[in-house]
């Protein structure tokens, strides 16, 4: 009998659509005040829906919203491991603390878990690292605002396939755990730190690549400026441009003589900034006001994700309203060669399928490449 642990961080990802950069610490309170809704339940259900039924599996699940709430979707036997701390329970039925995650993960190891599945973001991955290290393999289901660690699967479906493969006897390998300083992130500074490694099933095609280090060369800077110059020459003064995060998009604002939120989404119309660091609600309000609009994005870091990592205010509703034909992708030639295919993980499988296919990517001055977009 294989023993599989399940730990869900029920607040993971809540800050994304409302324009926050994570839910560490008190940020979850702000996210709720802004009208954020839970993300982790849908991601967990999507993961469980793609698991191969296994009657002889024993699920070691965390209590309440951290795992037990999904009992009806599990096949095999189930036992609840431990309980939430008084602090976590006092925060509400859909809340949790990092100490809950660490303590429950240790209890799962003590109970003989062969594999632990966790649903969350980079903060949750750090908790697993602190609790279990490389004593037991894990599979990360991406649900957080920050998902840069290569310990994560590409999507909930990919995570299920990794569990199925592990069940069939695949090897394991080390995967990095990264996390971004949320305080610096909110201050428009990207400060990532490598914390260590977790063991994961060794299936590279299903696992997220690690975030590219901040290596800036003269060639890459020149390439980004060429992209910006070409873009600005063709800008339409009657179109609203939603400029996504990233150092490839930032030079477009610089070429226009405008400020840019490096890690957020800004709106430009008629050569002027009309709004900065937008969340989903404010974007939708702008879309109701401006009939002509475009989204401008770049694959972030070394992950190759167009949507679903680092630009969560571009929600499925926002993307559908703008339309695939009005998505502009910019990236240096080096980045395109590095990532190969571009990835999407919006949380809406129908939209992901719609976005899949091929898209033109501007890689230099008057130079474009057709690149494959793949749903994860």
- pLDDT tens-digit readout, 103-136: 999 999 999 999 999 999 999 999 999 999 999 9
Residue 8 within any structural domain of the chain: yes
312 with 170, same domain: the answer is no
Give the count of domains, the chain.
2
| pLDDT at residue 185, as a whole number | 64
| Distance (Å, whole) CA 245 – CA 249 | 7
| pLDDT at residue 187, as a whole number | 65
Write out the two tokens for 201.
């099933």
Residue after which a domain boundary falls, among 206, 238, 260: 206
141 with 236, same domain: the answer is no
More confident residue, 335 or 329: 329
DSSP-derived secondary structure for 124-184: HHHHHHHHHTTSS-EEEEE-SS----TTBBSSHHHHHHHHHHHHTT--EEEEEEEEE-HHH
Residue 213 within any structural domain of the chain: no
| pLDDT at residue 211, as a whole number | 59
Residue 212 within any structural domain of the chain: no
- Residue pLDDT, tens place only, 245-266: 988 999 999 999 999 998 899 9
* 199 within 8 A of 172, measured Cβ to Cβ: yes
* 57 within 8 A of 39, measured Cβ to Cβ: no
193 with 238, same domain: the answer is no
Other beta carbons within 10 Å of 79: 11
51 with 184, same domain: the answer is yes
Residue 211 within any structural domain of the chain: no
259 with 143, same domain: the answer is no
Nearest to 163 by CA among 141, 180, 188: 141
Nearest to 149 by CA among 213, 190, 98, 210: 210
* pLDDT for 325 beyond 90: yes
- Residue pLDDT, tens place only, 71-112: 889 988 999 998 766 655 555 555 678 899 999 999 999 999
Beta-ladder partners of 173: 200
| pLDDT at residue 301, as a whole number | 62
Nearest to 127 by CA among 82, 79, 166, 177: 177
| pLDDT at residue 218, as a whole number | 44
Residue after which a domain boundary falls, among 206, 233, 249: 206
Q: Judging by DSSP bridges, how do beta strands 115-120 and 77-80 pair with one another?
A: unpaired
Residue 361 within any structural domain of the chain: yes
Residue 275 within any structural domain of the chain: yes
Q: Which domain holds residue 225?
A: 218-375
| pLDDT at residue 24, as a whole number | 66
* 144 within 8 A of 160, measured Cβ to Cβ: no
More confident residue, 45 or 194: 45
277 with 368, same domain: the answer is yes
202 with 233, same domain: the answer is no
* pLDDT for 219 beyond 70: no
pLDDT, average across residues 176-205: 81
pTM above 0.95, yes or no: no
186 with 79, same domain: the answer is yes
240 with 355, same domain: the answer is yes
Residue after which a domain boundary falls, among 206, 236, 261: 206
327 with 288, same domain: the answer is yes
- What percent of the chain has a predicted confidence (pLDDT) above 70? 88
151 with 283, same domain: the answer is no
197 with 282, same domain: the answer is no
């Amino acid at each position: 009998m294989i023993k599989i642990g399940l730990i869900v961080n029920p607040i993971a990802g809540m800050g994304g659509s409302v324009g926050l950069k994570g839910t560490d610490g008190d940020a979850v309170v702000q996210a709720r005040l802004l009208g954020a809704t839970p993300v982790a339940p849908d991601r967990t259900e999507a993961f469980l829906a793609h698991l191969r039924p296994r009657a002889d599996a024993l699920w070691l699940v965390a209590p309440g919203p951290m795992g037990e709430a999904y009992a009806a979707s599990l096949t095999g036997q189930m036992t609840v491991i431990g309980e939430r701390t008084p602090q976590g329970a006092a925060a509400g039925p859909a809340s949790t603390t990092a100490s809950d995650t660490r303590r429950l993960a240790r209890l799962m190891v003590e109970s003989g878990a062969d594999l632990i599945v966790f649903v969350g973001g980079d903060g949750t991955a750090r908790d697993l690292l602190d609790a279990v290290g490389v004593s037991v393999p894990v599979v990360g289901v991406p649900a957080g605002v920050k998902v840069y660690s290569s310990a994560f699967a590409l999507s909930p479906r990919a995570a299920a396939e990794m569990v199925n493969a592990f069940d069939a006897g695949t090897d394991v390998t080390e995967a990095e755990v990264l996390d971004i300083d949320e305080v610096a992130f909110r201050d428009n500074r990207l400060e990532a730190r490598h914390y260590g490694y977790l063991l994961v099933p060794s299936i590279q095609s299903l696992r997220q690549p690690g975030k590219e280090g901040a290596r800036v060369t003269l060639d890459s800077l020149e390439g980004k400026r060429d992209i910006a110059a070409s873009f600005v020459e063709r800008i339409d003064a009657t179109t609203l441009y939603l400029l996504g995060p990233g150092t490839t998009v930032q030079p477009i604002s610089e070429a226009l003589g405008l400020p840019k939120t490096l890690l957020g989404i800004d709106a430009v119309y008629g050569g002027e900034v009309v709004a900065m660091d937008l969340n989903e609600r404010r974007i939708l309000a702008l879309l109701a006001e401006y009939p002509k609009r475009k989204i401008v994005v770049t694959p972030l870091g070394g992950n190759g994700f167009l949507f679903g990592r680092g630009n969560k205010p571009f929600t499925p509703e926002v993307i559908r309203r703008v339309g695939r034909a009005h998505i502009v992708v910019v990236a240096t030639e080096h980045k395109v060669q590095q990532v190969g295919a571009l990835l999407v993980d919006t949380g809406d499988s129908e939209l992901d399928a719609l976005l899949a296919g091929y898209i033109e990517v501007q890689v230099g001055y008057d130079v474009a490449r057709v690149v494959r977009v793949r749903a994860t």
